[in-house]
Structure 1
Amino acid sequence: MAAEPKKIDIKDMSPYQISAFKQQLDNEIGLLESSIVDLHNAKTKFMGCTETCENFKTIDNGSEILVPLTSSLYVPGNVVNNNTFLIDIGTGYYVEKDLKSSVDYFKRKVKFLDEQIDKFVKMIQEKDQIRQALTNFLQQKQAQIQQQQPQPSKA
């Protein structure tokens, strides 16, 4: 059974601790934003794969095409079957699918990535609200400390 996390009231924290906690939130938000960019890039690739598969409907079997080996190296090839695709499903595994199944696979991937992006956006919003509250509280606490310090007398 997992122990419940210990809750700390920010009123009991020093300005240094609040600043450190705010910095941690800044780092987490930055990481989430970076992850969202990566998810958008993956989504764009899957959307491109969907479009490529759908475009193969217009290419006749036996047509000559250029096959990409890398992003900058293409070799000539011939379309043997414009309805069958070899799909990279990760970690070096490939699956043969027909056009409809291929498009469905890529659309499911896009949907999953959209869901993950939405989750990350919500997490950023929550963390940003906490960060704003910490910033406001820190400013109040610093103003309080300044008021409590003795003012130099004017002589």
Structure 2
Amino acid sequence: MADMNGQDPRVLANQHREFQRRAEMVQQQMSMVQLSLEDCNRAISTIDELNNVSAGSEIMFPIGSGSFVYANITHTDKTVVDIGAGYTVERPLPEAKEILQRRRERLTTALENINNTLAQLGQQMQAIESFLAKLQQPQGNVGSQ
């Protein structure tokens, strides 16, 4: 992308549109990763809170969309955690928390990579926009008196 001289402006405009489409897809990926990261953080917080609850306690448990149900906690030492590919396992709270923390690290890394990709696409689009803007500027009369 560094040297665009000699390129057809229509080709550059098409490349710009393609970069825009890719940027939109990357932004959708970013949204999905952010939602997963928030979900992971909520699960870690819930595990932390379970350390303060004794068996037999009644709690309000979130079911989504700002809604809760009352539930009695029978086991405060274990939880069932998703390990991927549709599989879940029962693990002690500390081990489940470790699994979720590793997942959070992977999601954070993925989010950083997505941000870098989005920045690169933005730079490429900006380069094309600048080049096309220069082409549209009237050329001054060089050397005329």
Give 1:97 deviation, angstroms. 0.7
What secondary structure sits across from 1:58 in the alignment?
A: coil
Aligned pairs, number: 139
Q: Which of 112, 120, 129 is the equivalent residue of 2:114?
A: 120
Segments of 5+ residues of structure 2 without an aligned counterpart are 140-145
Q: Residues 20-49 of structure 1: CA distance to partner in whole angstroms, max 9, x if unpaired?
A: 101111111122122212211110110000
Segments of 5+ residues of structure 1 without an aligned counterpart are 1-6, 148-155
* Greater C-alpha radius of gyration: 1
- TM-score with structure 1 setting the length: 0.77
What secondary structure sits across from 2:81 in the alignment?
A: strand
Q: Which of 76, 83, 95 is the equivalent residue of 2:89?
A: 95
Q: Residues 45-82 of structure 1: CA distance to partner in whole angstroms, max 9, x if unpaired?
A: 100000001111111112234556x5367665432220
Q: Residues 116-148 of structure 1: CA distance to partner in whole angstroms, max 9, x if unpaired?
A: 1111111111121111111111122233xx65x
Percent identity (aligned)? 20
Q: Which of 75, 81, 84 is the equivalent residue of 2:78?
A: 84
- TM-score with structure 2 setting the length: 0.81
Q: Given that residues 87 and 102 in structure 1 are in contact (C-alpha distance below 8 angstroms), is that contact kept between their aligned partners in structure 2?
A: yes
Q: Which structure 1 residue ranges, 4+ long, deviate > 6 Å from structure 2?
A: none
Amino acid aligned to 1:111: E
What secondary structure sits across from 2:82 in the alignment?
A: strand
